[in-house]
Amino acid sequence: MNTRLLAGREVAPIGLGCMNVCWAYGSAPAREDAVALFRHALDAGCDHFDTANIYGNGVSEEILREAIMDRRGEFLLATKTGIVTEGERRYIDCKPESITASLDASLKRLGTDHVDLFYMHRLDRDTPIADSVGAMARAIEAGKIGAYGVSEWSAAHIREAHAVHPMAAVQTEYSLWTRNVELGVLETTRDLDIALVAFSPVGRGALCGDIASPDALEEGDIRRTMPRFWPENWPANHALIEQLSALAASVGANAAQLSLAWVLAQGEHLHAIPGTRTIAHFDQNHAANTLAIPPEVIERAGALINQHTVVGHRYSAAMNATIDTEDY
């Protein structure tokens, strides 16, 4: 298996996003099933686990502690700070004192004295970037984090933060059907030698080819708020996904594996962190680390599904207003 550099460590290019087990996509699996998934992933060779304080209000971090923290040296651990929820209220807070308090709370939930990579989950427009980055630098000096990163930031703000203290990674949504990073972030991370970690690399599950109709999504599933899943847009998008599935099958892969291969083909500094709730889906995604899909098939996938062919924005207008990444 090839590896790629992330926060000073060589890891498999496909890691595991740890949101799905407790938040966002309907009912959570039983806790013992989530624990079993994380343990299976580590046993299978997954060495990059990505979580956040916001995932289940700390539950994802607690499950990781229960599942695999007794094998702390075997994997790169990433978590995030900056998004705060108080009942129905949701806001961004990356003030230095908030970053420090959030990090200490995450370390306690995770049951460790350090994380390898600590992200600011969103840009705090009310706090100077230099102040936020300063808190990250002090955490590095204290040995609480190995490196810092940012999530869903624009190219200009990435450069501003990197000039204060070099960052290790930028995490943002990137997939066949979400190409915003190609407006600046992709080039910036390549130029500055920063890893680019793609979340939702299989289009929030859509590019797996398993969603026949968004009507099957549970009430409370956040995808119901996303325009690409709306009834007026889904039929056109589903038709594209069916073609993607057929293309993948022609080379002995599935649609998710082809989608992951496409992301990783966009640069040697790319990583992908698909999330899942099941061991079966994890195994399929993990297998993409070693699949040899012909470059011409990857290119055809990119021509089939892209920002020009997909119908609908990735977020609602309200959610999109919180994102700093450049937009089409």
pLDDT in tens, 226-235: 999 999 999 9
| pLDDT of 132 | 98
| pLDDT of 88 | 81
- Please give the C-alpha separations between residue 317 and each of 24, 176, 322, in angstroms, as whole numbers: 18, 21, 9
CB 54 within 8 A of CB 121: yes
Q: Mean pLDDT by 10-residue block, N- to C-terminus, for the chain (328 residues)?
A: 94 98 93 98 98 97 98 98 91 98 98 98 98 98 98 98 98 98 98 98 97 92 96 98 98 98 98 97 97 97 98 94 94
**Is 148 annotated as catalytic?**
no
Catalytic residue among 55, 119, 148, 174: 55
pTM for the whole structure: 0.97
Please write down the long-range contacts of 83-91, taking CB distance under 8 Å and 24 or more positions apart: 83/52, 83/53, 83/54, 83/121, 83/122, 85/54, 85/57
| pLDDT of 24 | 92
* Local structure of residue 178 (DSSP, 8 states): B
| pLDDT of 187 | 98
Mean pLDDT of the residues in the chain:
97
CATH architecture type of domain 10-208+263-291: Alpha-Beta Barrel (3.20)
